Amino acid sequence: MNGQRDAEVARPRPGFWFGLVVLIVKPFLVVWTKQDFRGRENMPRTGGVVFAANHISHFDPLVLGFYIWECRRIPRLLGKASVFKLPIVGRILGSAGQIPVYRDSAEAADAFRAAVAAVEQGECVGVYAEGTITRDPDLWPMTGKTGAARIALMTGCPVIPIANWGAHEVIPPYTHSFRLLPRKTVRVLAGEPVDLSAFHGKPITTELLHEATEVIMAAVAAQLGELRGETPPKELYDLRRHRAAEEKNVTGEDGEAR
């Protein structure tokens, strides 16, 4: 079924730089990992779309990019601006159409303007809704930032929840050490579009964006639960709440350092 559908829709021309990335990354992943890619039928083959994914490793952008490529789409991932400043990698990423995110600056909104423009031009834009690699001790998704919801509600495009698992065995979270052998299986599962109909046609307020984001993250967690064969937690890990609690433990209720 997937093969027939893929044959009917030609993959867009990737351009030189993205083609170069594919030429390097795909053979590397094929040789050094085993892939278990599911749910590709849920990724629209044409038209603007946002996919929201969990983040467990510095390795999973390669895995997700390969997965989206196998869905016959060209991924446009939002990534940390610091990576785009690296001499060689940054130039390749920028030239390949990836979108830098400038945090805590006047340029922060530029990434979402670029993402909205890309979706409106029919691109497939990827967002790590957590904003960083998960801090959940069991590697479940954390509460999300509102970028994916904002892009979707501004453009009316579908949001595809995607879960990945196994990349953390290649590069453990918050490290840069490779563990290629024995070969690891990287698993990716895309779900059906998230139902955001309850939010359409309403003013895009902060509260609305947070509510829509909760729905998106619940869908991502559900996909990860299916991949792992486990039940996701009822409440996702809230990084801000945990940091606030840690700070309170350090300073004490009266604000004095302990």
Report yes or no: 196 and 240 within 8 Å, Cβ to Cβ.
no
pTM of the model: 0.88
C-alpha 136/C-alpha 27 separation (Å) is 32
Q: Which two tokens mark 1?
A: 């079924």
Q: By mean pLDDT, which of 109-118, 200-209, 211-220 is the weakest? A: 109-118
DSSP state of 194: P
DSSP state of 7: H
Q: What percent of the chain has pLDDT over 70?
A: 88
**Dihedrals φ, ψ of 156, to 5°?**
75, 10
C-alpha 114/C-alpha 120 separation (Å) is 10
The pLDDT value recorded for residue 109 is 63
The pLDDT value recorded for residue 256 is 58
The pLDDT value recorded for residue 1 is 44
Residue 2 has pLDDT above 60, yes or no: no
Are β-strands 159-165 and 184-190 bridged in parallel, bridged antiparallel, or unpaired?
antiparallel
pLDDT digits (tens, 9 = 90+) for 69-89: 999 999 998 877 777 777 777
Average pLDDT, the chain: 88
pLDDT digits (tens, 9 = 90+) for 137-162: 999 999 999 999 999 999 999 999 99
Q: What percent of the chain has pLDDT over 90?
A: 69
Residue 102 has pLDDT above 60, yes or no: yes
Mean pLDDT, rounded, for 63-72: 96
Output 133 or 89, whichever has higher pLDDT.
133
C-alpha 95/C-alpha 89 separation (Å) is 10
